[in-house]
Amino acid sequence: MGRISVDTRAHNEEAIRAAMDRLLRGDLPPGGKCDLRTVASEAGMPRTAFYARRTATALPERARISTSPKSSNGP
């Protein structure tokens, strides 16, 4: 999936801010909480849109760190 346009990004940010304002004013939907899931739902976008996307170049670095030898300086 490619990057979004400047106009789409501005529209999404506006929708998110409007949803956050409503929730912070106490205008919660029935059964909703003041959490990310409700913000996403009220803004009309998937919850996963709020998380940073991992790039393929970051994955090998994480693997290298997690497989590095552990220190034996334990108790």
The residue among 32 and 25 whose pLDDT is bigger is 25
pLDDT in tens, 61-75: 655 565 556 555 555
Residues 41-61: pLDDT tens digits? 999 999 888 887 766 555 566
pLDDT computed for residue 72 by the predictor: 55
Q: Which residues of 37-61 are buried (b: 16+ CB within 10 A; e: fewer)?
A: ebbbebbeeeeeeeeeeeeeeeeee
Q: pTM higher than 0.75, yes or no?
A: no
Name the 3-class secondary structure at 66: helix
Task: Please write down the HEC assignment for all residues of 17-45.
Answer: HHHHHHHHCCCCCCCCCCCHHHHHHHHCC
**Tokens standing for 33?**
């909480």
Mean per-residue pLDDT over the chain, rounded:
79
pLDDT given for residue 40 in this prediction = 93
